[in-house]
Amino acid sequence: MFRHQSRAGRVVSQLLVVVLLVVLTLPLLLVVKESLEGEGWRNYVEVVAGTPFLRFFLNSIVIAATTVVVVTTVAMAAAYGMVVLRATFARTSQIAIIAGLALPGMALTVPLFVTIQRLGLFDTPIAVILPLSALTVPFGVLVARNYLMGIPDEIHEAARLDGAGAVQIFARIVVPLARPIMAVIIIFTFLAAWNEYFLPLLFLQDHSAQVVTQIPTYFQSERHIDLPKVFAANLLISLPIVALYLVFQRQVRAGFLAGAIK
């Protein structure tokens, strides 16, 4: 009886996986199909050759990569200070993190605009990197803090007894152990920075400084939208995200699994 129930449970689970797979892949297949309508693969050639795609692509890479480095470094260092060093600001920082997650980004538009203008940062990558980092760091600190809380204190104490300082413990012990959650932070931050549309549009008024999310607008006007080329542009824009996930997929699964266990 129990074997029968177990076998039935496996069948139901496999059916649910198949249904979920169809639901997730069907929209992607439809987008691919629509991107090949009309001129076929020439739609992709037109996106790359008929627009400043490569320049905007490089601009996005610079902004996204720098944002990833800033957010990951700050998040890991802050979480290390809160959990391992038990800094006096830990409690206040937790409240600030929750407030940062609850605050909508649009509410900061005017203050950000005034600040960037006074600092003279318009039309520079820093004008986008700083707000993106500030808006993404709270999430990074929160998930890194929760992960580091699962590392036994005995590991840190043993390192201190061996004469390791705070920086050495962080670099040689905490960072290697926290690679799964760092991969999650990296992918989340890159995804947020790469897909950002509003901030570059607001702060990068120089055409040559624009980012890749602006490419689909080249095929849109008030009276006409070239949907096949828009879909083709969106698929090309999504390729770096897919590639990044494929590189870090093992660490990402480990990070989510560790979070689920805790």
User: What is the tens place of the pLDDT at every residue in 132-163?
Assistant: 998 899 999 989 988 888 888 888 888 888 88
Reference 125, options 194, 192, 209, 6; nearest CA is: 209
Same domain, 113 and 238: yes
Tokens of 41: 């693969």
Q: Which domain covers residue 12, as residue numbers?
A: 1-35
Cα–Cα dist 153/51, whole Å? 54
Same domain, 63 and 25: no
Same domain, 22 and 59: no
Same domain, 112 and 162: yes
Same domain, 136 and 242: yes
Same domain, 47 and 101: yes
Going by pLDDT thresholds of 50, 70 and 90, the confidence category of residue 44 is very high
Cα–Cα dist 55/204, whole Å? 14
Q: What percent of the chain has pLDDT over 90?
A: 39
Same domain, 53 and 92: yes
pLDDT in tens, 185-217: 999 999 999 999 999 999 998 888 999 999 999
**Neighbouring C-alpha atoms within 13 Å toward the C-beta of 152:** 4
Reply yes or no on whether the pLDDT at 32 is more than 50: yes
Same domain, 255 and 198: yes
Q: Give mean pLDDT, residues 239-254.
A: 82
* CATH number assigned to the domain comprising residue 146: 1.10.3720.10
Classified as helix, coil or strand, 257 is helix
pLDDT in tens, 93-117: 777 777 767 777 777 888 888 999 8
pLDDT at 87: 60
Same domain, 195 and 127: yes
Same domain, 11 and 96: no
Same domain, 45 and 155: yes
Cα–Cα dist 235/240, whole Å? 10
* Residue whose tokens read 């980004």: 105
β-sheet bridge partners, residue 225: 220
Reference 190, options 67, 21, 55, 27; nearest CA is: 67
Reply yes or no on whether the pLDDT at 124 is more than 90: yes
pLDDT at 261: 47
pLDDT at 2: 45
* Burial class of residue 95 in the structure, from the number of CB atoms within 10 Å of its CB (0-12 exposed, 13-18 middle, 19+ buried): exposed
How many domains would you assign to the chain? 2
Reply yes or no on whether the pLDDT at 256 is more than 70: no
Reference 142, options 187, 93, 107; nearest CA is: 93
Reference 236, options 40, 52, 44; nearest CA is: 44
Same domain, 62 and 101: yes
Cα–Cα dist 215/200, whole Å? 12
